[in-house]
Structure 1
Amino acid sequence: MKRVRHSLAVRLTHWLIAFSGILLLFSGFGQMPMYARYNVVKIPGLAWSSDYALTLILHYVSAAVFTAVVVFHLVYHLRREEFAILPKRGDLGESVRGVLAMFGLGQEPENEKFQAKQRVIYAIIGSTTLVLIGTGLLKSYKNLGAIIIDPMILQWTAYIHTIFGMIFMLLLIAHVAALLFKSHRPLIPSMITGKIDRQYAEHHHSRWLDGEGK
């Protein structure tokens, strides 16, 4: 038996943010530049990756999609009053217990629709994303030539954007790596079909089945 976990809108939002985020990272690193230096351009199909103009266009297009989908995500859940993914008091402690349980050390806490560690990670990724969008918009607005910004502010904006871009990359890698754990693998199909095995939900999200944290 299956239990519906994610709507079509949620799944599309998830994958659009993931793909546009990956393209943002790829095009962003391509502007440093580094692909010609480290022979990425020799990989079949990536000869164009050292072209600054092309990577800049790709970066802007990906950023537009990324930002639009993030705004949709926030408005969509706000209007539907769906806040189950937001962190709650005590989540840090439960996150530690949840991580230990992943390695067979202790019992996993009873969870709602989202585990405590998932809510904490969401807050971290969400905060990083908002910083990236904010600094990225400032950098882009400056390129329009409509305003003059203090060079020191622009320099710090560029530093922050780059640093948080690297943080975002590490978080993305960690997010994918977490799915290698056996206890998380059943979550993968749910982001494709929207449904999750009810037996898995009973074991890992019992409070959700009881009506909590919808």
Structure 2
Amino acid sequence: MANEIARKLVHASGAGIPALYLLNQRFIHSPYLTWESIRYVLAAGVAITVVLEIVRLGFGWNWIVFEKLTREYEQDSVAGYAMYVFSGSLTGIVFEPRIAIPAILMLTLADPISGQLSADELRTIKRPLVLVTMFGVCTLIASIWVPLPAAILGGLAAMVADGVKPIVHGFVVDDNLTIPIYAAVAMTVGLLYLPAVTF
């Protein structure tokens, strides 16, 4: 239980990077905390994660932090944290801030809420309560940055990424990899094709 709490806290800590950017935009106004600078930090995070995974899987150096923060089924495969760093960083590098920030926050903040609601459940599709909660939280987050139609598309995409577990060649596709990417693509589509839709 303690390890699960630690995992969720680390998961949520990823919100610190977009939060730092937003604080700079609002209060600090440092020329060193632009989104371009954030992209370099994200790229560095991917590089460090690749090295850590090579060391862990290739040389068996399973440091205490890995023992605490990886699950048993991740011991011999790429860990969820690596997919988390890769997908969040890729989203931040590829997409503009108004798309990337809510997509990253869906991963860092909404996913742990969904995980808590579905703890100890092994389902191909999560329960309706979990799906609705994930959709609601993600749509709310996205609506701060994009118009409601795009926010709804982003929320739906994140809900599907989190709530449906496809199996490809015997491997379950981890939602740490798919949530921000699906959401960012969906919000982009919403901005491009649903600009005139109002509620």
TM range, normalised to the smaller chain? 0.3 to 0.5
Larger relative contact order, structure 1 or 2 (CA cutoff 8 Å, min sep 6) = 1
Q: Which structure has the bigger radius of gyration?
A: 1
TM-score, scaled to structure 2:
0.33
TM-score, scaled to structure 1:
0.31
